[in-house]
Amino acid sequence: MQAITREPVKAPLVTEPLGFFGSLQAARSNLLGILPQISVTQPMVSGKTGLRWHMVMDPPSIRRMLLEKVDAYPKSVVTKNLLRPAIGESMFVAEGAHWRWQRRAAAPAFSHRNIKNLAPIMTRSAEAAADRIGAGGGKRAVNVHEEMVRATFEVISDVTLSGDSQFDQGAMHKAIDNYIDAAGRVSLFDMLGMPGWVPRPGRVLTGNAVKRMKSFADDAIAKRQAVGPRDVPDLLDLLLAGEDPETQRSMRSAELRDNLLTFIVAGHETTALTLAWALYLCAYDPDVQEAAAAQAREVLGDRPATADDVANLPLIRAIVDEALRLYPPAGLISRTALEADELCGREIKPGDSVMIPIYALHRNQLLWADPDRFDPGRFADGVPVDRYAYLPFGDGPRICIGAGFAVQEAVIILATLLARFRFSEVAGREPKPVMIITLRPEGGVWLMAEPR
């Protein structure tokens, strides 16, 4: 194979100050557009654009924020304003004691045993995706992002609602997309630090989408409460049965709905993005793809992957990890400081916006060698990785509760597809990394898929 002389696609970072309205415009079209170029060469960057802000790329300081002083750095007001209309006070948004009891109540649903029990659904979805991609035979162009969204939405629908035939997957997914596209964009009011009760025009216009999402979830919960749990419990059954071991409190209907919506939205979107970017990277680097395909075929033969195969597919897992490094679904997380502090020798004042730009952290030259290069070897067994230099799922007590679920699903689907198809790039159709709430490939990820 000829040596690759170009880098995989990346977002252009800012080299000149944008000013207030320039920052607002950039944030509304692509949040990565507010990241300064120096964020990949420095441990911390600070400034003022309406509000005082800091971007932190220093692992010890990030550890302080996410682990040591987590209550002093709650999710930012902007984050809550963006998400609360759709997912209420679910554990993704809630703080303090209200977050803790929900997390304790839901934790058993995401135990290793329960995640493994849900793997057959992932296997079926992987096989269905392979059948769709291979339909008609021969080599053809496929938008793998679209296919992965469909595959992971099938999984999350089945694991949350047991494939309820009355659940309208298409309508639910359209409502989610409408909300993210309109309400997920930062507004002028957010930039000015105005309180959440002040209506944001974009979010007002998505009221019907939010109502539809909540109606779908409410109906599903009511039906399940009426008929009782399934013989093999799904995620909704586990949440209904969940109880905080410290307070014996269980979730009421509204809390169940908000958390169910959180899992449906986050549980398919992030994994679909990871898979789409992973397939793009495999097409970009045919040598890595062939090595991964050989490993998958050796382990799987002609069958789809299962949970028992995941441990035997280290290169597939490393590709997933490297895709999460280069294109983290949550490319930026934001906190609001509640008290005075010091990070990297700089003063943090109460009310300051303190961001961890995961995208810049994962490409920071102080932390990674040749950081823009695709190299799954970074995640080979025995290679040390600074825990707070790599945060695709966050960390500390608020680490993503579904991280194990997402990784298992991604490995199962990616291994199944690489064993069956050879993917190559489509000339002139490079994806563009654009972040609204999540880091999506604008225009999709178009690849040529050829049966092996």
Backbone angles phi, psi at 252, to 5 degrees: -80, 170
Q: Record the tokens describing residue 141, joined without a space.
A: 């162009």
Residue 400 annotated as lining a ligand binding site: yes
Query: Residue for token digits 């597939």?
Result: 316
User: Residues at the annotated binding site?
Assistant: 400
Annotated binding-site ranges for heme: 400
